[in-house]
Amino acid sequence: MKTVGVFDSGVGGLSVLRALLAESPGVRFIYVADSAYAPYGERTVSEITDRSERITAWLRQTHRIDALVVACNTATALAIDSLRDTHPDLPIVGVEPALKPAAAMSHTRHIGVLATRGTLNSERFARLRTQLERTASSPVHFICQPCDGLADAIERDDLQTQQALCKRYAAALREHAPGDMDTVVLGCTHYPFAADLLAQFLGPDVTLVDTGMAVARRTRDVLGTSIENDSAAAPPRLLSTGDPTALSRAASRWLGIQAHAEKLAV
């Protein structure tokens, strides 16, 4: 059975793990929530790079992983190139805001992007945005809105703060976007868990797009044809550098699995 390491700054990457479990049930997944250092979107590049390297090294040494999924938009934007340089023999799949799928489905060509400042300010995001704006078959316009504090509120399961922030950022996006904006990209893996709130405040004419299934399909392609989908699904192993009970509760609530998360010191 193949083993894949998955990590995020906290519980948000469970949205990616959910898609991975559905796409490749014959794979063993080790999920690390770096909750002691969450949210990454408000940390420096050097801090994010250091945390990403520590977790990757631990996953390789302890579990001999066959592939790594960086289930965090900010870590992908700021640290994945360094990880690939340090681990050239390890297949690494990252997540990026779903700008390309959004551009393909938008009829009005006006697309909102909700993400952390770390993601929006990264060179990787700028390259992706510029490439699409230059190469799209018809002009496309991205309206970007940083969502300070939203990932943290989701991490803490603070519904009152989530509601207030979703309302604020949806209003801010609407204020700066043309009236015919029809698509919004959820540019942080935490945000799908607030999708109902965001949809409520953005309105029924807006389609929300995230990257979970695209990452799951890419990971399956990377692992190749040796996946045994007929084998029994292996429960993921869950570890947290913060409070493991919070990760256990999140897995129960969002993935419908009863798993005892473990404390990890790395």
Over residues 140-195, the pLDDT tens digits come to: 999 999 999 999 999 888 999 999 999 999 999 999 988 899 999 999 999 999 99
CA distances from 199 to 117, 137, 194, 203 (A): 21, 28, 9, 6
Is 166 a residue of the active site?
Answer: no
- 262: Cβ–Cβ under 8 A, 6 or more apart, which residues? 237, 238, 239, 240, 244
Q: Which residue has the tokens 């992706």?
A: 128
Catalytic residue selected from 72, 144, 147, 166: 72
Is 144 a residue of the active site?
Answer: no
Q: What token pair was written down for 194?
A: 């607030």
What is the CB neighbour count within 10 angstroms for residue 138?
7
- Whole-number pLDDT of residue 259: 84
- 223: Cβ–Cβ under 8 A, 6 or more apart, which residues? 2, 4, 24, 27, 66, 67, 91
Which helix H or strand E contains 191, and what residues bound it? none
Contact 216, 16 (CB under 8 A): yes
- Whole-number pLDDT of residue 231: 56
Residues of the chain with pLDDT under 70: 136, 225-233
Go through the domains of the chain in sequence order and give each one's CATH number: 3-94+212-263 (3.40.50.1860), 99-209 (3.40.50.1860)
- Whole-number pLDDT of residue 118: 87
Strand partners, 93: 69
